[in-house]
Amino acid sequence: MNAHALFLGANTSASYHQAILLPDETRRALLQADRKLRAAIRRAAAEAVQFGKQMALATDAYRASKQAPPTLDVRFLLQGGLAYDTAVEPAFMPPQQCDRDTGVYVKTSFLARQEPGLAAKKFFELVETAIKPLCDAEGWTIKKKSTCVRVEISPFMHIDYPLYAIPDEAFETLEKSLRDATGETLVTAASQMLTLMDRHRTLRIPSDRIMLAHREEGWVQSDPRALHDWFEEQFSRYGPQVRRQSRYFKGWRDFAFEQGGPSSVALMVCIANCYREGFVSADEARDDLAFHQVAGALSNFMRDPIQNPVLDVPSALNDWDDIERARYRSAANQLHETVGTALNGHYLQDLTVQRLQKALGRRVPNRPDLVKAHSKVPEIAAPAAVISSAPLKTTARTTSG
């Protein structure tokens, strides 16, 4: 059976892809809240400089060895699903939530190559103190995560603010590159920086100069832009179907797991690797077949460490315990088997719809007329081997990312 139209549809018909896209009104609500929060953070940083409070935000080592206060100049950059254009609306809200990720980048003085003069703990405090009056007035809730400040806008959405430090000279190099490439400055180009960075690959800061604030570990190396570039390269090389598959599998993850589930980044790396390693033979006109082929390889990718593709040292994106790994692999095997029986071994359009809805939920439209039957009944595809594991707790549905 050919169920491509159920997945992607057309301008005149509903589809699974259409049903899971993040609604425009949700995007606008997140953006409006983000603008208010960014303004509060920017204002607090400017006031810290104006009233000479930078040294109070510095590390003990910096205060002991430096006379001049560290610089403190913030910029913001969208990242995550909205930046990748793979964001989806969660299947069940609440407890699931739509989200936006906005990186807060501070230009500051460094003691050494990877040692910001600004204390990570003080940076968190600066941001949380800055946004608290606004959050209180709006009825928003601040939540402290290990690597970000989360603001819950409602039971249905939140914004995460990971905090980064970049050395003065790297910021200045970026500013010069931007001016040379576009004639713009970091201030005037702030709203279009994401687009400009996609267009001009010279607009980069070396990955080892970008440090992420961690509540327990202080500063750790992390460059979200390097991963963004890697994904954009895969989307460009293998076509728009890869981006759509990323949305489909996020939708599956949200439907299949109430707690936990593979992270969005881990899923997207697996999907890209399926194309890179030749597991997908379907063309752009067969999203259903491509989905089945990715599902068939997913369990094996989950068996081993899913490595961050942009780091020189091994860093797994799936640091799961044995129970989690067994649970996720079992779900991936079940998905492959169910989709296989939806597409193969029969010519009943109703049955195709029913089995895809079993795998992905009611957001798959009940439109048997969109399913094309083969001229003859193909042999049923062999299901993926289901791994043995301890009995698993029955779960309902869940979260997006």
The per-residue pLDDT for range 63-79, each reduced to its tens digit, is 998 778 998 989 898 99
pLDDT attached to residue 380? 46
What is the mean pLDDT of the segment spanning 107-124? 90
Q: List Cβ neighbours of 64 (8 Å cut-off, separation of 6 or more).
A: none
- Least-confidence region, from 52-56, 241-245, 247-251: 52-56
Q: Could you tell me how many residues make up the chain?
A: 401
pLDDT: is 353 or 187 the higher one?
Answer: 353
What is the mean pLDDT of the segment spanning 167-181? 75
Say what the pTM is.
0.87
Question: Does the N-terminal peptide bond of residue 69 adopt cis geometry, omega within 30 degrees of 0?
Answer: no
**Which amino acid is located at 344 in the chain?**
N
Task: With a cut of 60, say whether residue 4 has pLDDT above it.
Answer: yes
pLDDT attached to residue 49? 95
CA distance 241 to 257: 24
Write out the DSSP string of 234-283. Answer: HHHHH-HHHHHHHHHHHHHHHHH-SS----HHHHHHHHHHHHHTT-----
Question: Using CB atoms within 10 A of its CB, is residue 310 exposed (0-12), middle (13-18) or buried (19+)?
Answer: middle
* The two three-digit tokens of residue 42, written as one number: 């920017």
> Cα separations (Å) of 154 from 99, 168, 394?
11, 37, 28
- Among 354, 353, 356, residue whose Cα is nearest residue 336: 356
The per-residue pLDDT for range 278-308, each reduced to its tens digit, is 999 999 999 999 999 999 999 999 999 999 9
pLDDT: is 236 or 177 the higher one?
Answer: 236
